[in-house]
Structure 1
Amino acid sequence: MSKGIALTTGLNAVSPAHYGGWSGELNACEADAKDMAEIARSKGFDVKTLLTKEATRANVIDGINKAASTLTSGDIFMLSYSGHGGQLPDLNSDEADAQDETWCLYDGELVDDEIYSLLGKFAQGVRILVFSDSCHSGTVTKLAYYQSAMRTMGLKGISPEIRYRFMPMEVAVRTYRDNKKFYDPILKDPQLKESRDAVNASVILISGCQDNQLSADGTFNGLFTANLLQVWNEGKFKKGYRAFRRAIVNRMPPDQTPNYFRVGEINRAFEKQKPFTI
């Protein structure tokens, strides 16, 4: 019988000690992690949830490594992240925009190349489902534009003072410069440059927005996760992952479009399964 392991993470703040005095408060990331854990648990997954101070680099990496060492072909791993998206300079020249995207964990950023390297530890035939309710872009000008647009649209479920799940550019620069000795060996690692191509498992990523968009936080859930929960409808959704993503997109504003991305071995049977099927 196939096994399922889930690791759900949600950070309503990060450590100012690492991020140059910035704590990055958000409202609903812990709620997202708890709700994703509830879905996974209802489908029979063995679930671990990391909230804010528990969601450190070491704990997230350890959780992924433990799943990779446990699961075999035919099993499934679900990984969800709700929190700030960040950026670091691309020092191994594998990004067209010269920036590596990151998850802002409590005590430091986890670089996208590191995530691919961790996913590369899973055996061929393992199904991996990743949800990322975060964003990887945003400047002062773009932030002002999005705030104006979202308020004009009168979106429901978002607090009056809209918060977005991105690290401000000045914080990103300061965090990197203050921690160059830590990040540079990761960013320059030639092995990590090829990490995406080394993934043998079948990975589906459904993210909260496109790379050039912002993901909105909310009162009870992030906007993406809130709509995911509505579409899932306590398990009443019956179609595959592409249809799942399309149904979520249909509920989203035009300036936040969830992405569907595949890495590793293409597994069309996996893509056609009802979401969260072990």
Structure 2
Amino acid sequence: MPTGLSLHIGLNSVDPSKYGGWAGRLRACENDARDMADLARGVGFGDTTLMTSEGTVKNVTAELRKAATRLKKGDIFLFTYSGHGGQVPDAPGPDVEEDDFDETLVLFDRQMLDDELYAEFQRFEEGVRIVSLLDSCHSGSGIESVSEILNPAAMEAQFGTSDPDQLEAGFRAMPLLRQTEIYERDKDFFLQLQQDLKSANGNGRKPTALLISGCQDNQFSMDGSQNGAFTGALLDVWSNGSFRGGYRQFHRAIQRKLPVTQSPNLYLTGEPGAEFLDQKPFTV
């Protein structure tokens, strides 16, 4: 019988000493992690949670590697993250990303590059099904303020306010100015890390993985009082397990519950087969 393991990360803040005095306070990310762990446990996964100060790059990497060691072909790994998202310029080279940026998970002690997460997924044995759910922002580098891309009337109708300060506080994006300051401070570190990751490339193997993200790379994910907007919509669609359909249908149903300003993305790597994609989500 297949084995299912899951890792759930929820950060309601980060270490201000690592982010130039910015604490990045949010409300619902730990709730998201707890609720997703409950969901996973209910369908037969072994679950691990890392909350706020536990959500360091070292701890996340260690848990990913534990799972990669344990899981074999036919098993499944579920990875969920709720917290801030950021971007850093991609390193020059032939494999530069289309938007010229690496998206990041803003972990407690530093940003973790999407390439780092991908490299950890490459450690999993071929044939392990990987499902990743990211409830975070991936805001574009040219965006200086939420108010510049969001229509005030739409924001008033959706969130009850169009005040930029209140809206900024409700989005899971590292402020652009803070991103720029931290990148300039840590530029040499990130450039070396990006180059090392591109050189290693996990022997070129693509993991069998699918991602459903909270939004597009140039959009924002909303925080909330109980859950993030994406996680809340996902839990509503899941409906305590009564959902019927595969991952594509699951993604579209979540999309329909969110506004056009936050459009979840379905991204596949390693060409997951129809058997995987057509399974009811979270099938061990």
Alpha-carbon deviation of 1:265? 3.6
Aligned to 1:198: 205
Alpha-carbon deviation of 1:104? 0.3
Range with greater deviation from structure 2 (174-183 or 222-231) = 174-183
CA contact under 8 A between 1:117 and 1:198: conserved in structure 2? no
Aligned to 1:186: 193
How high is the TM-score relative to the length of structure 2? 0.91
CA contact under 8 A between 1:31 and 1:221: conserved in structure 2? yes
CA contact under 8 A between 1:116 and 1:195: conserved in structure 2? no
Q: 4+ residue runs of structure 1 moved beyond 6 angstroms?
A: none
CA contact under 8 A between 2:115 and 2:197: conserved in structure 1? no
1:146 aligned onto 2:153: no
CA contact under 8 A between 1:83 and 1:134: conserved in structure 2? yes
1:251 aligned onto 2:257: yes
Decide whether aligned partners of structure 1 residues 256 and 5 sit closer, same or farther in structure 2, where only a CA change above 3 A counts: same
Q: SS of the residue aligned with 1:206?
A: strand
Decide whether aligned partners of structure 1 residues 147 and 226 sit closer, same or farther in structure 2, where only a CA change above 3 A counts: farther
Range with greater deviation from structure 2 (180-189 or 29-38) = 180-189
Aligned to 2:163: none
CA contact under 8 A between 1:92 and 1:189: conserved in structure 2? no
Distance 1:196 1:225 in 2: 34
Name the Cα RMSD after superposition. Answer: 2.0
Aligned to 1:239: 245
Aligned to 1:137: 139
Range with greater deviation from structure 2 (131-140 or 107-116) = 131-140
Decide whether aligned partners of structure 1 residues 18 and 161 sit closer, same or farther in structure 2, where only a CA change above 3 A counts: closer
Residue 217 of structure 1: which of 216, 220, 223 is its match? Answer: 223
Distance 2:41 2:151 in 1: 36
How high is the TM-score relative to the length of structure 1? 0.93
Range with greater deviation from structure 2 (159-168 or 234-243) = 159-168
Aligned to 2:91: 91
Aligned to 1:169: 176
Alpha-carbon deviation of 1:196? 10
CA contact under 8 A between 1:114 and 1:192: conserved in structure 2? no
Q: Which runs of 5+ in 2 are unaligned?
A: 161-165
Decide whether aligned partners of structure 1 residues 161 and 108 sit closer, same or farther in structure 2, where only a CA change above 3 A counts: closer
CA contact under 8 A between 1:113 and 1:192: conserved in structure 2? no
Aligned residues: 275
Alpha-carbon deviation of 1:144? 4.5
CA contact under 8 A between 1:210 and 1:257: conserved in structure 2? yes
1:34 aligned onto 2:34: yes
Alpha-carbon deviation of 1:238? 1.6
Aligned-pair identity (%)? 44
